[in-house]
Chains A and B, each alone.
Chain A
């Protein structure tokens, strides 16, 4: 889901939406490899994000799309806190789980980092932060069903667009399901926008027998 501000005022107002907040205003759905120990909880990590600079030969400019991130359990002078709440909606024993993530901060890749390093359950298809563990053999019945394409090797080891490890093409199973906008409709309620589940996640959920069109009650619409 991508939100485009149409003018300067809307941009400023949306910027406040993405600051650190107490009540979550968006939800991500993820299919994790493994099952978290707790059924619900709050995660807090301190991320050092180094985007590099143009002097260091970064062709993309001052802000790189693939920053170098160090996740710590304690804060440092340069770290930024990342907080998110999670609820385990469904699971397939210890092999996989369907988790709702409610971020309370806006750090790049925070959901993927938290799942991989705080929950110890990387998101399925997350080659960048989960590595080999994101493509377990126990879920081969799922990634074998994925359409195979031409094998591609990423030079920078990214692979975050399409997971590609040992020829397994599994897209990232993370979905920004719902967001509450800071605007109200005619009835005085906040506008919420829900995005339909992408095809690869829908296919996985249908294989596992999970619903794909449920509304999230914790983000009121």
Chain B
């Protein structure tokens, strides 16, 4: 008790202490009022970039990011939104001009302009595959799917298969592996992805249209068209030859490797992804051709097998080298 009295005695007086607290509250209120009046009196808020402001306005009016009452359905006040037309009936309509502005990054806009499509004059899909998703942009050869809060965190192949249930997983894997399905990050940078990557919020997943990959991707990366003898043949239009780096330096005759050599190369492969190929090189096989020295494997060497010399074709099945491979 003696200490308590000392503590009370150290304060000048109790009413003065209460007044001190009240003054503090008033001061805080004044500060807040001043902050609010700064924007309410017509003073301009800190400037935002036009892309960011349009993006935020889209987010606020987009039906995909509206807050939903979880108990509304139980109360019978609402029903599950099954199509974009339902969205427009239940939620406040957006103006026509605002509907055209989509959160498209500058890189995506450049990509669309390069394809001859105006980014502001894009058609909004109301088709079957856009039903549960946000608005989707369709160009001549690509479809841009924004990832909303309902679907972020899913794997890329699951996301694409929800969009296109008729595409099997192997096809999705090949398209992702070949770089035909990719993502535009929220920072506007294009990112080649993997099937196991998780899509993130507010980014675009770019998928080629079925007509596009049927027309252009006759040989998506990872697939080869083999002739009756098992040797790879070029397509008639030669469109994929332009994409193939090995065929780019053509002019020399491509000598297909034998089936036995290809099978042996397949057995050597230990690991392969989109970045590296790891092969189990037997210790007797030299890296380059040794003049006059026949090793345990004869005249076999790695450089010939990789197609580095004499412009031989790639020995590894399911591998189309986009560049000349480099041995590390």
Contact = CB atoms under 8 A, between A and B. Distances in A.
A8 B321 CA distance: 12
B280 A1 contact: yes
A183 B290 CA distance: 34
Contacts of B124: none
B328 interface: yes
A3 B278 contact: yes
A2 B284 CA distance: 13
The prevalent SS among residues of A at the interface is mixed
Nearest to B287: A65
Interface in B96-129: none
A215 interface: no
A172 interface: yes
B278 A11 contact: no
Interface stretch (A13-21, A78-86, A95-103): A13-21
User: By DSSP majority rule, is chain B's interface helix, strand, loop, or mixed?
Assistant: loop
B210 interface: no
B302 interface: yes
Contacts of B280: 1-2, 195-196
Contact of B281 (A2, A14, A15): A2
B281 A1 contact: yes
A6 interface: yes
A46 B276 CA distance: 31
B327 A2 contact: yes
A183 B275 contact: yes
Interface of A: 1-11, 13-15, 18, 59-60, 65, 154-155, 161-162, 171-172, 174, 179, 181, 183, 185-186, 191, 193-196, 198
29 contacts: A1-B270, A3-B277, A4-B277, A4-B325, A4-B326, A4-B328, A5-B275, A6-B277, A6-B321, A6-B322, A6-B323, A7-B275, A9-B275, A10-B275, A60-B288, A65-B286, A65-B288, A155-B292, A161-B283, A161-B286, A161-B296, A162-B284, A172-B283, A174-B283, A183-B276, A191-B273, A193-B270, A195-B280, A198-B282
